[in-house]
Structure 1
Amino acid sequence: MALTLDGKLVVAISSRALFDFEEENEVFEQGDDRAYMALQLQRLDIPAKPGVAFSLVQKLLAFNASPTVGPAVGSTSVDHGGLKSAPQSQDGAMPSTGPLQPVEVVVLSRNDPVSGMRVFRSAQHYGLAIERGSFTRGEAPWRYLKPLHANLFLSAHLSDVRAALAAGVPAAQVYPRSVHASDAHPFEVRIAFDGDAVLFSDEAERVYQTQGLQAFQQHEIEKAALPLPDGPFKPLLFALQRLQQAGTPTMRIRTALVTARSAPAHERAIRTLMNWNIEVDEAMFLGGLAKGEFLREFEPDFFFDDQTGHIESAAQHVPSGHVACGVRNGQP
Structure 2
Amino acid sequence: MAATLDDKLVVAISSRALFNLEEENRIFESGDAAAYMALQLQRLELPAAPGIAFSLIKKLLAFNDTSDQRVQVVILSRNDPVSGMRIFHSGAANQIKLERGVFTQGRPPFRYLRPLRAHLFLSANAEDVREALNAGFPAARVLTESAQAGNNYPDEVRIAFDGDAVLFSDEAERIFQDEGLDAFQQHEIAKAAQPLPEGPFKPLLAALHRLQRAGTPAMKIRTALVTARSAPAHERALRTLMAWNIQVDEAMFLGGLPKGEFLREFEPDFFFDDQTRHVDHAARHVPSGHVAGGIVNL
TM interval, shorter chain, is over 0.9
Structure showing greater Rg: 1
Cα deviation for residue 249 of structure 1 reads 1.1
Counterpart Cα distance in 1 of 2:222 and 2:179: 35
Q: 1:326 aligns with which of 288, 294, 298?
A: 294
SS of alignment partner, residue 133 of structure 1: strand
Cα deviation for residue 166 of structure 1 reads 1.0
Counterpart Cα distance in 1 of 2:2 and 2:210: 25
Match of 2:59 in 1: 59
* TM-superposition CA deviations, 1:132-190 (whole Å, max 9, x none): 00000100000000000000000011111111111111000000110010011111000
SS of alignment partner, residue 144 of structure 2: coil
Counterpart Cα distance in 2 of 1:281 and 1:299: 14
Q: How does 1:222-241 map to 2 (within 5 A)?
A: 222-241=190-209
Match of 1:170 in 2: 138
* TM-superposition CA deviations, 1:93-120 (whole Å, max 9, x none): xxxxxx2210000000000011101000
Give the residue type in structure 2 aligned to 1:201. Answer: S
Give the residue type in structure 1 aligned to 2:134. Answer: A
Match of 1:28 in 2: 28
Match of 1:74 in 2: none
Give the residue type in structure 2 aligned to 1:298. Answer: F
Counterpart Cα distance in 2 of 1:318 and 1:40: 29
Counterpart Cα distance in 1 of 2:160 and 2:106: 31
Q: 1:200 aligns with which of 155, 168, 174?
A: 168
* TM-superposition CA deviations, 1:217-251 (whole Å, max 9, x none): 00000000000000000000000000000000121
Q: How does 1:264-303 map to 2 (within 5 A)?
A: 264-303=232-271
Counterpart Cα distance in 1 of 2:77 and 2:29: 15
Match of 1:75 in 2: none
The alignment's TM-score, normalised by the length of structure 1, stands at 0.89
Q: Indicate whether 1:155 and 2:123 are aligned.
A: yes
Give the residue type in structure 2 aligned to 1:270. Answer: L
Give the residue type in structure 2 aligned to 1:15. Answer: S
Match of 2:103 in 1: 135
SS of alignment partner, residue 64 of structure 1: coil
Give the residue type in structure 2 aligned to 1:240. Answer: L
Match of 1:112 in 2: 80
Q: Count how many residue pairs are aligned between Structure 1 and Structure 2.
A: 298
Q: Indicate whether 1:12 and 2:12 are aligned.
A: yes
Match of 1:123 in 2: 91
* TM-superposition CA deviations, 1:250-278 (whole Å, max 9, x none): 21000000000000000000000000000
Q: How does 1:236-275 map to 2 (within 5 A)?
A: 236-275=204-243
Match of 2:44 in 1: 44
Counterpart Cα distance in 2 of 1:169 and 1:26: 28
Cα deviation for residue 3 of structure 1 reads 1.1
SS of alignment partner, residue 214 of structure 1: helix
Cα deviation for residue 127 of structure 1 reads 1.3
Counterpart Cα distance in 2 of 1:27 and 1:167: 30
Give the residue type in structure 2 aligned to 1:155. Answer: S
Give the residue type in structure 2 aligned to 1:277. Answer: N
SS of alignment partner, residue 73 of structure 2: strand
In the alignment, structure 2 segments of 5+ residues that lack a partner are none
Give the residue type in structure 2 aligned to 1:17. Answer: A
* TM-superposition CA deviations, 1:282-303 (whole Å, max 9, x none): 0000000000000000000000
Q: 1:179 aligns with which of 147, 150, 156?
A: 147
Give the residue type in structure 2 aligned to 1:120. Answer: F
Counterpart Cα distance in 1 of 2:46 and 2:254: 44
Counterpart Cα distance in 1 of 2:197 and 2:7: 25
Counterpart Cα distance in 2 of 1:295 and 1:282: 11
The alignment's TM-score, normalised by the length of structure 2, stands at 0.99
Match of 1:93 in 2: none
Give the residue type in structure 2 aligned to 1:12. Answer: A
Counterpart Cα distance in 2 of 1:27 and 1:43: 14
SS of alignment partner, residue 138 of structure 1: coil
Give the residue type in structure 2 aligned to 1:323. Answer: V
Counterpart Cα distance in 2 of 1:199 and 1:263: 18
Match of 1:81 in 2: none
Cα deviation for residue 17 of structure 1 reads 0.1
Cα deviation for residue 2 of structure 1 reads 2.3
Cα deviation for residue 45 of structure 1 reads 1.0
Give the residue type in structure 1 aligned to 2:221. Answer: I
